[in-house]
Chains A and B, each alone.
Chain A
Amino acid sequence: MIVEIGHYALVLALVLALAGGTLPFWGALRGDNRLMAVASTTSVAQFLFVAMSFAALTYAYVVSDFSVQNVVENSHSLKPLLYKISGVWGNHEGSMLLWVLILVLFGALVAVFSENLPLKLKALVLSVQSWISAAFLFFILIASNPFLRLDPAPLQGRDLNPLLQDVGLAIHPPLLYLGYVGCSISFAFAIAALIDGRIDAAWARWVRPWTLTAWCFLTLGIAMGSYWAYYELGWGGWWFWDPVENASFMPWLAATALLHSAIVMEKREALKIWTILLAILTFSLSLLGTFLVRSGVLTSVHAFATDPTRGIFILCILCVFIGGAFSLFAARAGQLSQGGLFAPISREGALVLNNLLLTAACATVLVGTLYPLALEALTGEKISVGAPFFDMTFGPMMVPLLIAVPFGPLLAWKRGDIVAAGQRLLFAFGAAMAVVILGLALMGTPSALALFGVALAVWLMVGALSEIAFRIKLGRVSPAESWRRGAGLPRSAWGTMVAHFGVGVTVLGIVGSTAWNSETIVTLKPGEAVTIGSRTLTMDGFVPISGGTYTGTGVRFTVRQGGNVVATMEPEKRLYTVPNTPTTEAAINTFGFSQLYVSLGDISADGSTVVRVYWKTLIALIWLGALVMTAGGMLSLSDRRLRVGAPKPARRPVAVPAE
């Protein structure tokens, strides 16, 4: 019964989305306030009904209702509760429902928390949002219904893929979707502005918090996915330039560019058309990502059951929204008024450079992702575009960007003084040089690329700090005065500093783990030991393990450094009973920011085991940097500027976790 209620709620949500997409839109065109006011109600109601539907599906999973086909295919009654719940979005149908839930959640948040938005703009924004949700609700009901029943119902489910039974995977999709789908808000604002034919600084001020929120979640989601791949797949790699990773990375690059260009628009009313274009582009890339991942065009760990009608359906949605948006853009962009003037060397100029490099880098990733598909479709030739391609294209595009990052915040609006900015960065430059000299002295002849990378990371980190040091006049006035100035700085300035510092941290992690990574493969018997760097791992013996749906063997290692025991590690080989799948669980131990990583190969009958040990220098910084960037984004989000003029204190978007 509850399952049918969930299905019915979804149908009602579709009807509401159709109403919410047409009535307020009609009202906005005719200037009818009553019709426009409908938008808020339908948006909130859509959210309530989709939430009800999602709750019904979750309920079916929690009580293991095996009369529902979706539950049978992805759950098992012995599975821990957490994975029963995460199983809801561990499959095609459920993940699309989560996608729509988050979409209507954002619509409802706009409806509730944007009371000072002009009624017409709000009505248009919410109509656009309703069109998107109508399209995807229709898709779910027609081609991907999670509420289909099975008769007769089997006694047991087929269980979720063991690789997905993991805490990281339980929260990765919701985070990523909050980011992906959050981009729909800036898209809706862009379309609304194009329809309205009016755009000003206030528009950018409304759009920025939503973009920033989406960006924060996207950053967290990507970092989480990368960390999962690192510890779960057992290869010790953390980024594979897999098309599906790229699908989430492209919207991130575009959203990063959008964040920066929206600043220019908000402060200087310049780059209007470009910002609109970026907003459209960002969501288009999100949709493209959804298509690539969910349609089965790509074979990857993410592709679910492939049903051609689904792929074509999503492709149609993609074409209508992207094509429609770009046609509208082509027709209306010329009518938007030109913005303020600025010299090439200025804050605006620096942000333009940021945008150029980010979008160009995004384009290289797009080419690398789509080229194999296009080539196969056209010539039938199969190729794979992997890390070498991206190292050669994406890497060189990032280097000038990263060098330029510390300059940006130090340049004045309109016309900047690059010499003065350079002087303020002398300390950062000195620090970077000191690291190079220290590296040469300590390590003899390390690779030039590695030294450059570390210097770049130091330059970014110290450069970010230098900007704040300059603004609070650190060392030039009394510490108390600096403190007072620091407290008086807008939160967004601190946010910029923290986020840019985070970029440096991530770069340091990438360089460290790439340049000073050591690994070894040995066959060990209990009692034998292997040495990696200054640490020795002794294999103590086997430990039987068992969990709800698996049994297996753990191998206990004692890690010694200079004769002292510093850690014990226990990688595992598991055998899941349903479906009958073996998996390997790597053991990871963190020393400072570096990690020791142990993975198991075959265990022979005589107890000799193939063991792969990695030492990854500073690797934890990669994800730590992403956390720091997110913290910067959140700090910026709490800036009072984004709340000024709000009738209620709660205007800033609040992220509500998905149910």
Chain B
Amino acid sequence: MTRKQRRLTLISLAGVVLASAVGLVLFALSDGITFFTSPSDVLAKPPSVDQRVRLGGLVERGSIVKEADGVVRFAVTDGKATVPARYVGILPDLFREGQGVVAEGKVDGSGLFVADTVLAKHDETYMPKEVVDALKKSGEWRPQDGDGPAPQTVQR
């Protein structure tokens, strides 16, 4: 093999690897990402039943119902709209009524949000940024309620 051929082999190998990486990324970006929505968005334009979304808002007061074997029903609200949700599992320690929550899952045919992941705050003084933005959008943002975007002091 001449020097030129060797270099060409290397460059084409690099090209193949790079092209497949780009291809994979583009494919995954169309399929493997989750959009963030607020309860108002879900009611206005429900996502299709097989689309995963992240739903952010406050846990509506008085909405938490705990059933047998870890099944929990609650409602996510942004003040304007409310979406009922169902989750099976152990909720985060800081999941509470009237507090911020982000749930990930799908909206089923009846409009029920079936969550497979529920994220709450990491500590007393923190609210997920997405929830703050969603509340600001619906005009229900009231930092003085003790749930403001105060400093968060967690590290891992």
Contact = CB atoms under 8 A, between A and B. Distances in A.
Interface string B95-129: 00000000010000000000000000011110011
Interface stretch (A52-60, A76-84, A378-386): A378-386
B156 A388 contact: no
A75 to B, nearest CB: 11
Given A523-B69, A610-B70, A344 B90 contact: no
A437 B1 CA distance: 41
A234 interface: yes
A617 B54 CA distance: 30
A381 B128 CA distance: 16
A309 interface: no
Contact of B151 (A302, A304, A367): A304
Contacts of B25: 364, 367-368, 393
Contacts of B125: 579
B32 to A, nearest CB: 4
27 contacts: A90-B153, A95-B155, A161-B122, A169-B156, A299-B130, A299-B152, A301-B122, A301-B155, A301-B156, A302-B156, A303-B154, A364-B21, A382-B36, A384-B34, A385-B32, A385-B33, A386-B34, A388-B33, A389-B28, A389-B33, A390-B28, A392-B28, A396-B20, A521-B90, A580-B124, A581-B93, A581-B94
Given A161-B123, A357-B17, A392 B156 contact: no
A607 to B, nearest CB: 15
B14 interface: yes
Nearest to A380: B133
Given A382-B35, A384-B54, A602-B66, A610 B154 contact: no
Contacts of A368: 25, 28
Interface stretch (B5-13, B42-50, B75-83): B5-13
Contacts of A169: 155-156
B90 A599 contact: yes
Interface string A338-350: 0001111000010
B6 A343 contact: yes
Contacts of B33: 372, 383-386, 388-389
Name the interface size band of chain B. 35 or more
Contacts of B35: 381-383
A636 interface: no
Interface of A: 73-74, 90-91, 95, 160-161, 163-164, 169, 172-173, 225, 228-229, 234, 244, 299, 301-306, 341-344, 349, 352-353, 356-357, 360-361, 363-364, 367-368, 371-372, 381-386, 388-393, 396-397, 521-523, 579-584, 599-602, 610, 612
Contacts of A383: 33-36
B153 A161 contact: yes
B65 interface: no
A342 B28 CA distance: 36
Contact of B24 (A90, A397, A600): A397
A356 B14 contact: yes
Interface of B: 1, 3, 6, 9-10, 13-14, 17-18, 20-21, 24-25, 27-29, 31-36, 54, 66, 68-70, 88-91, 93-94, 104, 122-125, 128-130, 133, 151-156
Given A383-B35, A521-B89, A393 B21 contact: yes
A517 B20 CA distance: 31
Contact of B153 (A73, A344, A522, A610): A73
Contacts of A302: 154-156
Contacts of A341: 3, 6
B89 A90 contact: no
Nearest to A293: B155
A372 to B, nearest CB: 8
B151 to A, nearest CB: 3
| Interface-centre pick from B6, B9, B10, B24 (highest chain A CB count, 10 A) | B24
B27 A392 contact: yes
Given A299-B129, A352-B13, A386-B34, 11 more contacts: A161-B154, A301-B122, A303-B152, A383-B36, A389-B29, A397-B21, A521-B89, A581-B124, A599-B90, A601-B89, A601-B90
B28 A388 contact: yes
A305 B151 contact: yes
Contacts of A600: 90
Contacts of A344: 1, 6, 9-10, 13
A396 B24 contact: yes
Contacts of A579: 123-125
A522 B154 CA distance: 31
A383 B155 CA distance: 23
Given A352-B10, A583-B93, A612 B152 contact: no
B44 to A, nearest CB: 16
